[in-house]
Structure 1
Amino acid sequence: MVLGEAGTGKGMFAKALFSEMLSEYNCAIATYKGSLKKFFQAIAFNLQIPTEDGNDKPLTVDALKDEILENSGEDTLLILPEAKRLTTSIRYWLEDMMSAGVTVVCLAVVNPKKEIFLEMLEIELDLPSNAHIRSIMEAEAERQGLNLTKSQLAELQPLAGRNPLLARKVIRNEKLGIKQTSQHTQYLNIMPIFFAVMVFFTVLRFVGMGTRNKPLYIFGGVAVAGLMAAKQLGSIKGAQKRLGQ
């Protein structure tokens, strides 16, 4: 199970994995888009499995499932982008495929954590580097006919975070003159600074206690209590979801 925010390149990763593993596995890649027959036909085509019977009639969905299962094994790799779309019948079929030794790679924003997904190892894709995001923004600006300076790109980049999809969207919004705000949830972790300040005021409180400096002791104690209260208030937040969930 490969996890990553929407727009961070899971689709490109799936295609690259498919191309890379063709020399080692009998590979298939397919995305479910509402038609079971087309989904299983795509898998059968990749695995070079016939989709018609002896009378040149297309196989039914159940017949395709059985044919693929019978012709798959430990040398088969199945790559499934958009795992959240998979229906119950597909998931039950995948369970049989995995029992037959087939390696299954699913890609999703979050792990659905049910049925076959509970058995899968999780790997999270690293976010692209800032330099890569900047290059994507430059390419999109050129495609949109915008002549943006490096300083303008630097001002726009924080709006996209490290998400290629948002990087392109920010440039398109800039062309249309739309007022933009940050659309991602990648924030700076300031907890080390917070705890360092708390330790400082705690030490200040003990110094006031040791020197019998009552104002210093009271100030240090109130400051520590205030920081603790601020920490608890700062932990109040709504449900956190990945982009695309």
Structure 2
Amino acid sequence: MEDVAAGVALELAGEFSIATTIYKGSGKKFFQQLAEQLDISTEVEDDKGKVKQLTLDQLKEEIALNLPTDALLLLPEAKRLTTGIRFWLEDLIEAGCRVCCFAVANPQRDIFIKMIEVELELPSDRAIRSAMQDEAAKLGLNLTAARLSQLQPLAGRNPMLARKVVRQEKLGINPTVEHRQYLVMMPILLTGLFAFAVIRYVGMGTGNKNWQIFGGVSLTLAMAAKQLGRVEGAKKRLGQ
């Protein structure tokens, strides 16, 4: 999400006054970063001439009062935003401010319900491979084209997983598949077996033993596959 927001910021840099930051547990730091990018003061001078940092509530009010008319707030990892920040953003939106939130899935609550949802296409294989190559270059890791082709399926279409896979490769850890961007064939297989099971009843009606046997075997395999599909391994991980 951070890469997407950075790309949008770069594309619209000449049209809007853009501020982008990620909430990482500190509300004051979050608003300070927004204010600094929008050229809004984060300090105040008291009666004695001493300069002090604005408090959290003062930062909220200062940004809301001095927000440029062409301001555009880009907020990656929007699901992290606290309730207080979301309510503050709601007031800004009602005042005409442009706010763009990025998230893997729409949380479907308060301000997110009111926003126009735009679903982005998944990154291409070339983009995923480029992300892996960039991460490898940062780590000083030389990955051949053959090794990249082996590692890429483990990341799916997720750039963050792509970087994680490269970091695991650097540490000598065998990466595992963590994404779910694949086609589940079990329903298709079960549908085919149950369809062939109908032949058993046709054979019973016509007296054809071969059809009865074939249909009975298909029905048995379908029921067995259905039960096997319910088998799940232990979901606990190391440390849990």
Q: TM-score range, shorter-chain basis?
A: 0.7 to 0.9
Q: 1:50 aligned to 2:45?
A: no
Q: 1:227 aligned to 2:218?
A: no
Provide the secondary structure at the position in 2 that maps to 1:84: helix
User: Larger deviation: 62-71 or 168-177?
Assistant: 168-177
Q: 1:173 aligned to 2:164?
A: no
Q: 1:110-121 alignment to 2 at 5 Å?
A: 110-121=105-116
Provide the secondary structure at the position in 1 that maps to 2:102: strand
Kindly indicate whether the alpha-carbon contact (under 8 Å) linking 1:73 and 1:100 is maintained by their aligned counterparts in 2. no
Structure 1 residue 17 displacement after superposition: 1.4
Structure 1 residue 69 displacement after superposition: 2.0
Closer, same or farther: CA 169–50 of 1 in aligned 2, 3 Å: closer
Root mean square deviation of aligned Cα: 3.5
Cα distance in structure 1, aligned partners of 2:4 and 2:69: 22
Residue 7 of structure 1 aligns with which residue? Answer: none
Cα distance in structure 2, aligned partners of 1:170 and 1:230: 32
Cα distance in structure 1, aligned partners of 2:52 and 2:143: 57
Kindly indicate whether the alpha-carbon contact (under 8 Å) linking 1:74 and 1:100 is maintained by their aligned counterparts in 2. no
Structure 1 residue 94 displacement after superposition: 1.1
Structure 1 residue 140 displacement after superposition: 4.4
Closer, same or farther: CA 129–89 of 1 in aligned 2, 3 Å: same
Structure 1 consecutive aligned stretches of length 4 or more whose deviation exceeds 6 Å: 235-238
Name the % identity. 55
Structure 1 residue 11 displacement after superposition: 0.4
User: Larger deviation: 78-87 or 171-180?
Assistant: 171-180
Cα distance in structure 2, aligned partners of 1:141 and 1:19: 24
Provide the secondary structure at the position in 2 that maps to 1:168: helix
Provide the secondary structure at the position in 2 that maps to 1:78: strand
Kindly indicate whether the alpha-carbon contact (under 8 Å) linking 1:160 and 1:170 is maintained by their aligned counterparts in 2. yes
Kindly indicate whether the alpha-carbon contact (under 8 Å) linking 1:27 and 1:46 is maintained by their aligned counterparts in 2. yes
Residue 20 of structure 2 aligns with which residue? Answer: 29
Kindly indicate whether the alpha-carbon contact (under 8 Å) linking 1:76 and 1:103 is maintained by their aligned counterparts in 2. yes
Which structure exhibits the higher relative contact order, with contacts defined as CA atoms closer than 8 Å and separated by 6 or more residues? 1
Cα distance in structure 1, aligned partners of 2:132 and 2:11: 27
CA deviation map 1:174-215 (0-9, x unaligned): 344333332322222326742662475156446535643134
The residue identity in structure 2 corresponding to 1:109 is V
The unaligned stretches of length 5 or more in structure 2 are 234-240
The residue identity in structure 1 corresponding to 2:92 is M
Q: 1:88 aligned to 2:90?
A: no
TM-score by length of 2: 0.74
Q: 1:65 aligned to 2:60?
A: yes
User: Larger deviation: 200-209 or 92-101?
Assistant: 200-209
Closer, same or farther: CA 119–229 of 1 in aligned 2, 3 Å: farther
Cα distance in structure 2, aligned partners of 1:146 and 1:40: 37
Closer, same or farther: CA 69–196 of 1 in aligned 2, 3 Å: same
Cα distance in structure 2, aligned partners of 1:53 and 1:145: 45
Residue 158 of structure 1 aligns with which residue? Answer: 153
Structure 1 residue 50 displacement after superposition: 3.4
Structure 1 residue 100 displacement after superposition: 1.1
